[in-house]
Amino acid sequence: MNPPEPTIAIQPPPLEAPLPEKLDFKTLFEALLRRPQALVYRLAEPNHGATWRFAMMAILSIVLFGFVLGCFAKNEQLWAAPAKVTAGLLFSGLICFPSLYIFATLAGARVSISQLAACLTGALALAGLLLLGFAPAVWIFAESTDSLGFMGTLAVGSWIVAVFFSLRFLKSVIFATGGTQKGPLLIWSIVFLLVTLQMTTSLRPILGRSEKKFLTQEKKFFLQHWNDTFGSSLNQKTPLPEPQQIPAAEENPSRGGKNPFNE
């Protein structure tokens, strides 16, 4: 008869320490990545001071990413692209916040407006930090290619990945505050993504350059704009229309040509 095998005591994993009383930038960054639920509960407390820190993280990260995009065309785009990208993203978050509160309530979440505002700002900060992580790779292509289509695909692809993880954070916010339904947040996520993508067209040019310099007044859907510029390059010039050829008989009637006024 074989002797019984020795039993190995399995110890439970150690409990994570609560978030520190002072939420500095490093603590907020690590909490966004590793402990989103603990951060959500902490943001429910008054005077947490995280909202303005999240806003600073988001603005700084997006400005730097916009500067990298401006390196593609250089010149005035070095300051115009960061300004447009930052303003467009902050404006998108602002106009979509009321609908986020409505859809979060429909999902069953019991979250206050101030808490949800801090969480949305945190989601934008997370998206900005992820874009900042993509910035070195984007800069390499900005300095080595002149394809507007490829650079636009690279920039939009980076933004979609960043939005995916920021929306996953908002999902943890909804379920940590009592939400039980995914549908309302999914609808809001689609609306928010479409708004940000349309901003890339409304605030154009961001990558290339235009005679309008800062903004254009032409209305265009973002899919149509992408289709028009996908195959173009940075240095491509729009061909001028050929001058209309006037028949010799009509060009100078005094040379024997037919003059319609003498008929």
Beta strands (DSSP E) in 61-212 are none
In a domain, 234, yes or no: no
In a domain, 56, yes or no: yes
Q: Does the pLDDT of residue 83 top 90, yes or no?
A: yes
Q: What's the confidence (pLDDT) of residue 3?
A: 60
In a domain, 68, yes or no: yes
Count how many domains the chain has. Answer: 1
In a domain, 85, yes or no: yes
In a domain, 87, yes or no: yes
In a domain, 259, yes or no: no
pLDDT (tens digit per residue) in 45-73: 877 888 999 999 999 999 999 999 999 98
Domain range spanning residue 212?
Answer: 27-225
Q: What's the confidence (pLDDT) of residue 15?
A: 52
In a domain, 22, yes or no: no
Least confident range from 120-124, 142-146, 176-180, 250-254: namely 250-254
In a domain, 65, yes or no: yes
